[in-house]
Amino acid sequence: MGIRQTEGRKRLYDSVLDTVGDTPCIRINKIAPSHVTVYVKFEAFNPAASVKDRLALNIIEAAERDGRLKPGQTVVEATSGNTGIGLAMVCAAKGYPLVLTMADSFSVERRKLMRFLGAKVVLTPRAQKGFGMYVKAKELAEQNGWFLASQFETSANADIHENTTAREIMADFEGERLDYWVTGYGTGGTVSGVARVLRAERPGTKIILTEPANAAIVSSGYTNTRNEGHQPTESHPNFEPHPIQGWTPDFIPWVLQEAIDKGYYDELIPVPGTEGIEWSRRLASEEGIFTGISGGSTLAVAMKVAEQAPQGSVFLVMLPDTGERYLSTPLFDGIEEDMTEDERVISMSTPSAQMAAE
């Protein structure tokens, strides 16, 4: 095989926002069972490196179209990180001030990324969980006349996945088998939007939904209360803190309720965060695919299902983001900053090591 060549995209872009979407489906070559084929849809290829870039862009543009967002108006939203980073990118490109509320339990690099992109970040106590940061965003919007992005309720969320993520999957697998599609949930926009299309156009594809084992709020059977605007009015009693950042806030979002009510998934499988960390590390070290704990957790569930799947089955697994926003989390526990003993042995094995010692 000769040297690889590229041809360019054969277009010029007017804005970074025009590069959102069209993320690749990549085959897993080493760590999947040999009797199945597994692809991952790697959302880190979005410009701000997560699936939430799609949501962030459509929330703002939908509000611009119908007049809910005025020129120069401040945008405010509660976020565990990825939506906030996506909104910060969109608001920077479009010129809107942005204030984000986030529990102080989420990774430090997330708040730094949002601030680097020009947003202000208001931290809320971790004891108040996701509901606390949600309430703070609502209060700030009501008090200041700011535009509340409402990622957990807005129809703009699932709609963008129906019109982009799902269409990309349909195009990439045109004429090909697709037996299983596996995803987790945060707001629920990905599963609700993509499932609308899969149920209609690929009804033979089984949809596997997953959630943290110690925050299995959907499988609990209890739905938290909501107000007339579909906003949660309580923290879900079955929620416990978990390491899969971006997944499963401590309430069932209205956007996700569509998938629950319409039976948009065939199985709901819980996964421990430790397994997500293990599979994220394997993806990186054995496949060269660098995703976060959420992506590793989705793959962990796919691997469990794959073990019992029929010969020749084809899987597509959603990888929501990059691993770089997990540097201060348990995902990187044990990854040394200084040289390990093995690395020191390698370093000392050449003549220049003796020169440095003199």
Residues known to be catalytic: 52, 294
What does the longest C-alpha to C-alpha distance in the chain come to?
75
Collapse the DSSP code of 129 into the 3-class scheme (helix H, G, I; strand E, B; otherwise coil) and give the result: helix
What does the alpha-carbon distance between residue 107 and residue 81 come to, in Å, rounded to a whole number? 8
The Cα-based distances of 284 to 82, 242, 280, 303, 324 in angstroms read 20, 22, 6, 16, 12
Half-sphere exposure of residue 226: CA atoms within 13 angstroms, side-chain side: 16
Collapse the DSSP code of 75 into the 3-class scheme (helix H, G, I; strand E, B; otherwise coil) and give the result: strand
Q: Between the CA atoms of 46, 47, 53 and 56, what dihedral angle is there, to the nearest 10 degrees?
A: -160
What does the alpha-carbon distance between residue 206 and residue 315 come to, in Å, rounded to a whole number? 9
What does the alpha-carbon distance between residue 265 and residue 282 come to, in Å, rounded to a whole number? 27
Query: Order of strands, edge to edge, in the sheet holding 25-27?
Result: 25-27, 37-42, 314-319, 180-183, 206-212, 267-271
* E-assigned strand segments in 193-278: 206-212, 267-271
Q: Provide the token pair at 210.
A: 């997953």
